[in-house]
Every structure is written in structure tokens, then in C-alpha cells.
Structure 1
């Protein structure tokens, strides 16, 4: 008989609450669940592992004496409809923690290597006209004029510009490499973790290509403002905080980055209908149809009624496309090495490996940071170094 490990009932209770699962539902899979939540019980490693997988709670948490304090302050993040969601899912909590760990490593590394804080982090405020801030951001990132106009590689242009300026961008559709823990696009599209040395942007790649371009620009604006979705008390006090006002401002700057007013106005064909113009603008600037529709409204190219009717139809189409994308089965999926490089970025992987070679971090820590061990880690490094 397998030897059991004593687990506190308060841990089981917390795990069930955190997973949003019903006790009745779990009872059919765990015959002793009622005992486990009422008294200290001995569970086998197999039982703990099964419970961990079922509840999506890290295995090690079950051995704690008290529930962990998971005060995830990142309560505001980009959702499909920019709605507030104050109860993040287990997947979002875990992806934030993963990013915080990687950010901490990058911050310590940059300080250790003698880098200075990035001057643009927190350099702006809401008193700057959106057009002026958009110009400042483009100048810092080395983006010229209508940089995305008829640019088929818009996303990579922006990605590389951000990376070269010191912004770390990571992306994924699941938690780590857990394909059974998909990130819900209806919960969040992206988030940013502010740091003066290593600002981090995370993109949910279950989103559409064009929507991710907007999300990345939007989070870059947050970096210039020096705030993430934490919306801490200092910012509320210092900047006459107002959530709707803040998001409206960020959207205005983002729109100016992607759809400069002068350029959009000059390219709008008043002889054609709204859908013709939207499609033309979407293709020309590599932005989503929803963003274009909102921009037209704000520039008074369409009236409110036209906007309401058009936006609703476009929104339904976008949701339909996302559902199709989520169900689509891909053949010949990229290798683990290709996906890891895509998710973490070449710079991050190379930095981790360099620090391990220098003896600044243990290889065990390097393995954790990139999600690969032993020979798999070696092959990953070879792949990244050979595929530049």
C-alpha cells in the first residue's frame, strides 16, 4: 500500500475554492473528498497529483501548512470588451506568476550588468496630448511616420522595435507548455508588468494577429505612463485617477500610433460605403476592423447610429473568427524548440544561458526559466544560436 502524506484540510478547502469547482462534482472523482476537507488526511502522491491536475493547483501547494497568499493585484487587463474582471482564473494567476519570475531575473541581470533604468518608463502623463505622446513613443522606438501603412510585417516591426528599446515581450496561448491549460481570450488579451529596468508585456496568442498588434501598442502606452493594470494608490492620488478616463486616453494614443488621424482622413473614400472603407483600412494599416470602426467614429467620419449598427456586426464576426481559430486543428505543429523561442524570445533565452555559463545562476534555475532540462535545454540553446 502506498505511503500517504498528511495534508491539511484548510489546503484542500482553499484549492477547491480557488478552482471554482463544485464539491458535488469532485465527489464523483474523489471518493474521500469530504473527509479530506474536514480533517487532516493522508493522501498518496498519486492522489495529490490527480487532485493537482483536476483543480489546476500547483502540486507543491498541497504540502503547505497554510494557503498561499495569492494577492494578484493585476485586476485590470485587456479583455475582448475591455470589461473589468476582479476574479482572475487559475490560468491567469499562474501566467502572471511565471512572468513575474522571469521579469525578476531580467531586472537583476540588467542591474548586475550595469545597465541604467529606462528613461521612458513613467515619462508621460495624461496631460500630454495623445498625438504628442504617440510621436514621442514612435521616436523612441525608431518608428517613422505611418510606419505600419502597407507594412505586411507590422507585428514583427513593432516587436523588434520594442525589444531593441528594452521592452521584454512574451507570448503564449497556454500556461507554460501545458496544452491542457489554454488561456481564455474572453478573460484577457494582454497585460503589462511595469519595471524601470525590464518592463514586460505578455500577449495572449489565442487572439487574432491584428488584435495583438493593438494590444502591444496599448501596453506600450501603459509603460510610458509608468503604470500597469495595478492602478496603485499612488497613481490614483497623483494623477487624479479615473479608470475610464485612463483607458480612453490609452486608446486615443494607441489609435494615433496605428491610425494617424491625418492619414486616415486622407485615405477615407466618402463615395464608398462604410464596409468598403473599413476593409480597405484594415488591409492598409494591419489593424482590426473594430479598431477602425471606433477610429471612424472618433474622427466623426460616421455618426453614432452607423457606428452602433456596424460595430455590432463586426463584433459578431470577430467572435465567430476567434471561435473558428480555437477549434482549428493544426497539422505539422512547430517543434518544442520553435515554440519556446517564439514564446520567450531569443534575447531572453540567450541571457539566461549566458548567466548560467558565467556561474551567476545555477543551471537548475536556467532550466526553470526557459522550461527545458538537460539535453533538451542544450538542444534549445543550439537551435536558438543556429536560427538567428
Structure 2
């Protein structure tokens, strides 16, 4: 009996091939007759088409459409390469965005139905306000004292919780959902902020050093207070990205606090002191000292190659991963996790839908997550 063949429209085939992210050599190894499919000399079998859909991370039915499913998200894209806008999103970034938009849409609908107001911190800083004033006002809204470093060694978690207490959703992940085989590329994006009916979700790519994650979180907070959602790469090539970078630096390392701690010592010693105290990377600490005119541009230029040559590995330790519920709470955000699981317990959302949002693969897995929920006031900020 002849194998069942599948007809795939040329544009859909090209789109699916691109979504696999595989090199030409890997594609040839996985699909030996790919060139014949492209030239229309042959068609893939049903098994081969299903394999292509799997590698492209799309439902098989998508391959049967007449045109590709649009990959572009409606979120503004502030990322650039050599001053040019980036045209495409990787399948990993697209899928992370789609999942985040789905979670935020559910949360916004649920909050509105529950009488919860959108967070007041969104678009709370009008244009024309100085970076210093914006950082001070934002610290006040989050209940953080002025001119003081964030407390503790877990500054990323501390800031994330402060933002969630203000009504924001904060997701932190280095992979697509719970799939360890689909890593996020920090060179493609550092984070993003999305908005739905005034409710806001911030996502930070944690495939990076802790200091970089902290800066990314503060950078996205800049997008929040300016009311400018979008994808970020932290380049200075766009005015908004530059403003958010300056906001993040002032928010994390207030100028007056840095000046008070400055001892006019060796540049590298001062850089290390700022880095330890405020949770910035050594590079960001050097730039902060220069920005505040505590060191000269020449001092910074001389110290920079030394810093880069001795740059420590600030990546997260991979020894002893947290338990699955802890990971999921961070990946979807604590506020979302607790709101969703409580809604499931109260019968306001089906177990199947809630499990899908959390990435739970079995009922027992889902029940284990529900058992880890914490009370949440559900009051807006």
C-alpha cells in the first residue's frame, strides 16, 4: 500500500522550514527529500509532514493551510541591529509572546470580572519628566525607600515581588514554557512588556547573568511607567530604549547613593563596590560612575578592557534545580500563578484550561501545583 502523501503550499513549506531553526545540513539529515519537496518534484508522506510540524513547533493542521499563520505579534518592537529594525521573531520568541499574551488576556478578563482595577503604575510617568524624578516616583509607588539599594542577595526576586505587589504580572524564564529543549536567545531579546485593557505583563529572559536579569527587570519597569509596551534588547539606538536604560540605572543605583558611597579609590575597586552594593554588572557599574562624573571618560576607557578581560561568570548556578512548582511560579509569575490556581479551586476556570496555562502535563502534576498556591488579595495597585 502506497504511503499517504501530503500537499503543502510552497509558502507554508518555506515558513515551516524556517521555523525549525535547523541548519541546511541538519535539515538534509532530518529530511533527505526536502529539496524535492521545495521543487515540487515530490511530496512528503504523512509521517514526514508530521515530523516537519513537530520540528517547526506548530500543529500539523497548520501545514494544510493555503498560507502561513502570521508570526508577527502586535507588540511594538524596539530591537535593532546596526540601527535597523529586526524583521522577524524566532519561533521560540513568538511562542513565548503568544503564551504570555494568552495568560495576560485571561488575567485581564478575570480581574475585570472580579472588580479589580488595572495597576496605577502603568503609564504613571508622563513624557518630559526627568529620569531621576521618574525613578524616585516609581520607587515611592513600589514602597521602596529613596536613595537606598535594593535589599538582600536575591534582588531580582525582591524587585519582581515589589512589581507584582503593585499589580503587575512578572514572568521570568530562559526556555519556552517548560520545554528545556527550547532555550531563549538573550542576543535576540532581553525582555518585553505587554498590556491588555490596562493590565500589564513583564517578561524577563533569564538566560543571562543575575545582574543582567536585574537590569532587564528595571528596564522593563521603565517601559511600564512610560506606558510603552514592547520588545526590548536594551540598545541605545532608539530614544525610548535609551531612556529605559537610564531609568534602570537610576532606579537600581540612585545617583545620590552612589556618590555617598564613592571613596575616590582605584577605579576597579570603586566599580566592584558599586556592583556588589547595587546588583549591577561591572560594566554597568563603570558606566554609572562615568555618567555621574565620578570618573572621567578616559578612566572608563582605560578600565573597560581590564574589566572585560577579568569578567567573572555571573550566570546562574546549574547545580540543584528548584522543584517544579517553584520553577512554574517564576515562569508564569507569582501573581498569575496564585490567581489562576485559586480560580481553579473556586470553579471559575476549568482544570484543563488552568493546567494549559501552567504547562502541567498530567492531572496529578496540576494538583501538585494547585496545592502550592498562596493567598492573594486580588486588589489592584
TM-score grouping bracket, smaller chain normalisation: 0.7 to 0.9
In the other structure, the counterpart of 2:181 is: 180
Checking the alignment, whether the CA contact within 8 Å between 2:134 and 2:247 is kept in structure 1 is: yes
SS in 2 for 1:296: helix
* 1:220 aligned counterpart, secondary structure: helix
- Give the equivalent residue in structure 2 for 1:364: 352
What is residue 365 of structure 2 aligned with on the other side? Answer: 376
Contact in 1 for aligned 2:16/2:52 (Cα 8 Å): no
**Greater helix share, 1 or 2?**
1
Q: Confirm or deny that 1:278 pairs with 2:271.
A: yes
Q: Structure 1 residues 331 and 47 mapped into 2: Cα distance closer, same or farther (>3 Å)?
A: farther
SS in 2 for 1:265: helix
Partner of 2:242: 248
Of 280, 287, 296, 1:287 maps to: 280
- 1:350 paired residue number: 338
Partner Cα distance (1:4, 1:203) in 2: 44
- Aligned-pair Cα RMSD in Å: 3.0
Distance 1:355 1:116, change over 3 A: same
Q: Could you say which structure has the greater relative contact order, defined with CA pairs below 8 angstroms and 6 or more residues apart?
A: 2
Q: Equivalent residues in 2 for 1:1-388 (5 A)?
A: 4=4, 6-10=6-10, 11-19=12-20, 21=22, 25-39=26-40, 41=43, 43-44=45-46, 46-72=47-73, 73-77=75-79, 85-148=86-149, 151-229=152-230, 244-270=238-264, 272-315=265-308, 317-318=310-311, 321=313, 325=315, 330-372=318-360, 373-384=362-373
> 2:72–2:89: 8 Å Cα contact kept in structure 1?
no
| Aligned partners of 1:193 and 1:201 also within 8 Å | yes
How far did 1:244 drift?
Answer: 3.0
The answer on whether the counterparts of 2:164 and 2:170 sit within 8 Å (CA) in structure 1 is: yes
C-alpha separation between the residues in 2 aligned to 1:211 and 1:78? Answer: 19
TM-score normalized with structure 1 length: 0.84
Provide the rounded CA distance (Å) in 2 between the counterparts of 1:60 and 1:321. 44
Cα shift at 1:23: 5.1
For 1:90 and 1:120, the matched residues in 2 are separated by 31
Q: CA deviation at 1:60?
A: 4.7
Unaligned runs of 5+ in 2: 376-381
The whole-number CA distance in structure 2 between the counterparts of 1:138 and 1:3 is 64
Cα gap change, 1:202/1:82 in structure 2, threshold over 3 Å: closer, same or farther? farther
How many angstroms apart in 2 are the aligned matches of 1:92 and 1:317? Answer: 32
CA distance in 2, matches of 1:206, 1:321: 13
Query: Contact conserved, 2:80 with 2:86, CA < 8 A, in 1?
Result: no
- By how many angstroms is 1:145 displaced? 1.9
Structure 1 alignment gaps of length 5 or more: 232-241
Give the Å deviation of 1:66: 1.9
Deviation at 1:74, TM superposition (A): 4.1
Q: TM-score scaled to structure 2, two decimals?
A: 0.85
Deviations 1:188-232 (A, max 9, x none): 22111134532111111111112211111111111111102269x
SS for the counterpart of 1:119 is: coil
Contact 2:189–2:231 (CA under 8 A) maintained in structure 1: no
- SS of aligned partner of 1:181: strand
How far apart are 1:57 and its partner, in Å?
A: 4.4
On the 8 A contact 1:269/1:277 being kept in 2, the answer is yes
Q: 1:281 is paired with a residue of what secondary structure? A: helix
Local SS of the residue matching 1:202: strand
Q: Could you say what secondary structure the match of 1:171 adopts? A: strand
C-alpha deviation, 1:254, in angstroms: 1.7
